[in-house]
């Protein structure tokens, strides 16, 4: 087990997920951006680094059924499945590392990532992440990636992060992907403190 996997397994085993800094009672920004790209319940969606997020609950309420949840932490995935109860069999659960080569059994119309990419402080990990995105996003699909903005924190959960604006994210994109737009969102932590995120909408060029 990698040190990073151990870190996240420990987080989800020892902490109440409603008290961690990134907890959202409602994933408002993500839902707004899904609406902006005209996402439809018939489309396939993956939530990369889902943690114990309630985004999947909202998607199921909106009749999404082709849902994949990916996280390093099996504990986080287990907590979601337990929380969903009778609907726990709807999502496809993947405990994997998005910075490693992953072979999915289908492409995704929507790639969602809130607060994974900014943890990738190693350039090779970022390159591998983007290769996974590039290869597994459907030709007409959209990626929504949320990271800390330049005004955001330098650390989260005791780990270093990389802050982003449009120029920085563009430098990370393969030549086949392009940034469509970005938006700033303020996250209110359970403690009441604020964190500034920047969300990016990305797609294949000429799609």
CATH code, 78? 3.40.50.150
Strand 137-148 and strand 108-114: the pairing is parallel
Which pLDDT value is given to residue 24?
Answer: 65
Domain with 10, as residue range(s), is: 3-204
Share of the chain above pLDDT 90, in %: 77
Sign of CA dihedral 65, 58, 134, 93: negative
Q: What does the alpha-carbon distance between residue 193 and residue 17 come to, in Å, rounded to a whole number?
A: 17
Tokens 């999947």 identify what position?
56
Model confidence over 23-37: pLDDT tens digits? 566 789 999 999 999
Q: For residue 88, is pLDDT > 60?
A: yes
Of the chain, the percentage scoring pLDDT greater than 70 comes to: 90
Do residues 76 and 52 touch, judged by C-beta distance below 8 A? yes
* pLDDT score recorded for residue 98: 96
**In the block, residue with structure tokens 């920085």:** 168
Instruction: Tell me what the mean pLDDT of segment 83-89 comes to.
Output: 97
If you search the block for the tokens 């430098």, which residue do you land on? 171
Query: For residue 18, what pLDDT band results from cuts at 50, 70 and 90?
Result: low
Q: At what angle do helices 3-14 and 74-84 cross, to 10 degrees?
A: 40
- Say how many domains are in the chain: 1
What is the spatial distance between Cα 57 and Cα 53, in angstroms, rounded to a whole number? 8
172 sits in which H/E element: helix 166-172
Per DSSP, the three-state class of 18 is: coil
Q: Rounded mean pLDDT of the chain?
A: 91
3-state secondary structure of 53: coil
Give the global pTM.
Answer: 0.92
Q: Is the Cβ–Cβ distance between 7 and 159 less than 8 Å?
A: yes
């Amino acid at each position: 087990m990698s040190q990073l996997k151990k870190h996240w397994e420990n987080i989800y085993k020892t902490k109440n997920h409603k008290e961690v800094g990134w907890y959202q009672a409602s994933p408002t920004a993500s839902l707004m951006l899904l609406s902006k790209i005209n996402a439809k319940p018939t489309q396939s969606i993956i939530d990369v680094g889902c943690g114990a997020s309630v985004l999947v609950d909202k998607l199921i309420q909106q009749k999404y059924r082709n849902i994949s949840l990916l996280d390093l932490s099996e504990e986080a995935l287990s907590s979601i499945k337990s929380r969903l109860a009778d609907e726990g069999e709807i999502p496809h659960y993947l405990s994997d590392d998005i910075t490693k080569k992953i072979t999915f059994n289908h492409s995704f119309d929507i790639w969602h990532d809130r607060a994974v990419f900014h943890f990738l402080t190693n350039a090779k990990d970022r390159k591998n992440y983007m290769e996974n995105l590039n290869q597994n996003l459907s030709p007409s699909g959209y990626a929504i990636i949320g990271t800390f903005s330049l005004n955001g924190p330098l650390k989260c959960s005791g780990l270093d992060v990389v802050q982003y604006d449009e120029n920085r994210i563009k430098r990370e994109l393969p030549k086949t992907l392009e940034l469509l737009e970005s938006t700033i969102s303020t996250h209110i932590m359970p403690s009441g403190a604020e964190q500034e995120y920047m969300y990016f909408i990305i797609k294949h060029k000429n799609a």
